[in-house]
Chain A
């Protein structure tokens, strides 16, 4: 049932119009001067904005972007090793797991290495991708992530949405202590190996749940905080 509104006739003051109009003029003038005379807080996080003076809450989209929440599955990237080559070993796990079959991989053998492979071609059609994140889950090498924090940018052509390994290979490099190319004899020089081992981190026990996320975000830390609040059972 809709609200019952009192539909009473206008009283004398209301039918004079001007008292309310003058009050409203004051209101609009205040808003106008605040917005015209004080600069806008350009913080892309609107809730964090200082709106005590300028009340504008617009986000100028292409220049300012609202941050996506942690864990947002964005545009893929191929994680590089510290030397810039992809961590990917062309095992086809992601392409197999992909329900949309949008990943195309062509494997190649690493020159002078008896067992290691690398992707000659690694192509993701972002128009076919359903952004399920199964490829990230399937990857045994933590070589593909969706932690760029951004959606695939719009393009004028369909071809622009097809990302090959050159466009996908970006972002901060990652290396783990147990990475095979760090522990067994490899083509890397001694100096490079030393550098890589120094930056390597321990591999997670239960797969890349922590490191495969947005930088600064940690599932374990959130879980620890929840335990501290006594929400462990939930």
Chain B
């Protein structure tokens, strides 16, 4: 029981801490904006630079680093284990967090080895190309709403381009180069095999990734993530807001699956396999490997952030939103919004780990089959249905009802099929009379 209440206390403390941190981030961004105005520049120059530090360098990197610990501890909880707890600080394992330091120390002090026949420039470039595009993806994510602090309009995002989703597609496309070059430049046939697998898989899934978001673009009539976040706060079915997952449940499934495949993690971890091809990073060691490794975790966090921004209501806290907006000071309300966004991100990373542990990895032809035969037709059908629904009813009500029907259908099929398939008499026949009879 002590642990039960302790866990709820930890969750509450994390949420409260997030609110406090984002309150501080808003104040810092406002100070940055004031500084920029004092220098005669537009205010958002300053707040963007401050946000680049606070959101990308601090929040995203902390999240990615903590994910390495979470992967150990959460995976352990899913598998009836305890998980990493041998490093103890004053007798307490601290939930495995000290492993962060151990990992960093290991990565930084390991010897960096190079294959002699590598392509020198590309070998150095590949980890950077793998890491930086995924890292830069976070720039367009709207973490919090725009609010007036110290007389400055401050938003919790680094950049607000009109082409927000297109930026995501573009950079997701570039991140293929990192893995491909890593395999090719190390001049190792096994590494190259992993790289070819990775590039084929990522390029395939980018098609369904792009198409799954077309429905969202049609529904919200924008490609800007900020506009999408605002549009998701508008009520559409009575008090229910027009969340992306309500309007586009099929789009959500296709997008989440495709983005999952983009991260190259189980069950889509064909590019790496310790027992067959080691992976495209086979020849990398030390911090270069660390960068490729960290890129994977950054990718998880960014994928969760994009999913939360597009499908789970962005920074809208959804529950008690109207009450909080009316009763809380505006900056505190904005901080609560930003904290709820990060809570959604953490929830989605947790969901990814769950999926990682419950599915066996696909065969390579199954991966391609899933993409081209299932996700792509589903995404195309989704685009046409969404387009027709928006054309008939521009208020999105019809689309929301279609979404409700889709969710009901998905739930219905899942619940109706909860009886496991009959195995047949295979067991009994195998060592009964059938076996000797077959021998004759």
Interface residues of A (CB under 8 A from B): 1-6, 13-25, 27-29, 31-32, 35-40, 55-58, 60
The 8 A-B residue pairs whose C-beta atoms are closest, nearest first, are A39-B3, A35-B77, A24-B358, A19-B414, A3-B430, A22-B414, A19-B417, A55-B80
Complex-state Cα separation, A3 to B432, whole angstroms: 11
B440 interfacial by beta-carbon distance below 8 Å? no
- In the complex, the chain A residue whose C-beta lies closest to that of B356 is A28
Instruction: Name A36's contact: one of B7, B79, B413, B434 (CB within 8 Å).
Output: B7
Smallest beta-carbon distance A3→chain B, Å? 4
The CA-CA distance from A16 to B423 in the complex, in Å, is 20
- Which residues on the A side are within 8 Å of B418 (C-beta)? 23
A88–chain B nearest beta-carbon distance, Å: 40
The answer on a CB contact under 8 Å between A56 and B81 is yes
Contacts A4-B426, A39-B3, A40-B82 given; indicate if A20 touches B417 (C-beta within 8 A): yes
- The answer to whether B358 and A25 have CB atoms under 8 Å apart is yes
Which residues on A sit within 8 Å (CB–CB) of B81? 56, 58
B426: contacting residue among A6, A17, A39, A60, CB under 8 A? A6
Chain A residues near B427 (CB, 8 Å)? 3
Given contacts A23-B414, A39-B2, A58-B81, contact A2 B358 (CB under 8 A): no
The answer to whether B80 touches A37, judged by C-beta atoms less than 8 angstroms apart, is: no
Please tell me if the beta carbons of B3 and A37 are within 8 angstroms of each other in the complex. yes
CB contact between A2 and one of B357, B421, B430 (< 8 Å): that residue: B430
Q: Check if B101 is an interface residue, CB within 8 A of chain A.
A: no
Q: How far is the CB of A62 from chain B (nearest CB, A)?
A: 10
Is B41 part of the binding interface, using a Cβ–Cβ cutoff of 8 Å? no
Chain A CB within 8 A of B110 CB: no
Residues of B within 8 A of A16 (CB): 374, 413
Given B77, B421, B429, which contacts A32 in the complex, CB threshold below 8 Å? B77
Please, what's the 1-or-0 string for B422-439, where 1 marks a CB less than 8 Å from any CB in chain A?
A: 011011011100110000
Interface pair A32/B74, CB less than 8 Å apart? yes
> What is the CA–CA distance of A170 and B417 in the complex, to the nearest angstrom?
64
> Within 8 Å of chain A (Cβ to Cβ): is B148?
no
Q: Let me know if B82 and A17 touch, CB within 8 A.
A: no
Q: Does B392 contact A (CB under 8 A)?
A: no
Residue A57 contacts which of B80, B355, B374, B423 (CB distance < 8 angstroms)?
Answer: B80
- In the complex the two chains form, what is the Cα distance from A39 to B2 in whole Å? 8
B-side residues, CB < 8 A to A, are: 1-4, 7, 74, 76-82, 253, 351, 354-355, 357-359, 370, 374, 410, 413-414, 417-418, 421, 423-424, 426-427, 429-431, 434-435
Pick from A1, A4, A20, A57 the residue with the most CB of B within 10 Å: A4
Q: Are B74 and A1 in contact (CB under 8 A)?
A: no
Known: A18-B410, A18-B414. A1 touches B435 (CB 8 A): yes
| Nearest A residue (CB) for B253 | A18
Complex formed: what's the CA distance from A57 to B79 in Å? 10
Contact (Cβ within 8 A) A1 B430:
yes
**Among the listed B80, B357, B370, which residue makes an inter-chain contact with A35, where contact means beta carbons less than 8 Å apart?**
B80
User: Assuming the A-B contacts A32-B74, A37-B3, are A3 and B426 also in contact, with contact meaning beta carbons closer than 8 angstroms in the complex?
Assistant: yes
Indicate if the CB atoms of B80 and A19 lie closer than 8 Å: no
Please give the distance in Å from B368's CB to the nearest CB on chain A.
15
Cβ-defined contact, B77 with A31, below 8 A: yes
The one of A22, A28, A39 that contacts B78, using a Cβ cutoff of 8 Å: A28
Give the complex CA separation of A214 and B45 in angstroms.
77
CB <8 Å contact, A56 and B417: no
Which residue of chain A is the closest to B357 with respect to CB atoms?
A: A28
Chain A residue numbers with a CB within 8 Å of B357 are: 28
Say yes or no: B413 contacts A38, CB within 8 Å.
Answer: no
Residues of chain A contacted by B374 (CB below 8 angstroms) = 15-17
Asked if B435 and A25 sit within 8 Å, CB to CB, the answer is no
How many angstroms between the C-alpha atoms of A4 and B421 in the bound complex? 17
CB-defined contacts of B434 to chain A, threshold 8 Å: 4
Residue from B74, B80, B410, B414 within 8 A of A56 (CB atoms) = B80
A15 to chain B, nearest CB (A): 8
A residues in contact with B431, CB < 8 Å? 1
Given A17-B374, A57-B80, A25–B3 Cβ distance below 8 Å? Answer: no
Which residues on A sit within 8 Å (CB–CB) of B79?
A: 31
Closest to A29 in B: B354
With A1-B431, A21-B358 already in contact, the answer to whether A37 and B4 are too (CB < 8 A) is yes
Give Cα distance in the complex from A25 to B78, angstroms: 11
Give the residues in chain B near A17, CB-CB below 8 Å: 370, 374
Contacting pair A6 B424 (CB below 8 A): yes
Residues of B within 8 A of A39 (CB): 1-4
Q: What is the distance, in angstroms, from B200's C-beta to the closest C-beta of chain A?
A: 20
* B370→A56 contact, CB < 8 A: no
Task: State in angstroms the CA–CA spacing of A132 and B358 once bound together.
Answer: 48
- Residue in chain B with minimal CB distance to A31: B78
Extra A-B contacts (4), CB below 8 Å, given A13-B417, A37-B4, A39-B3: A2-B430, A16-B374, A20-B417, A29-B354
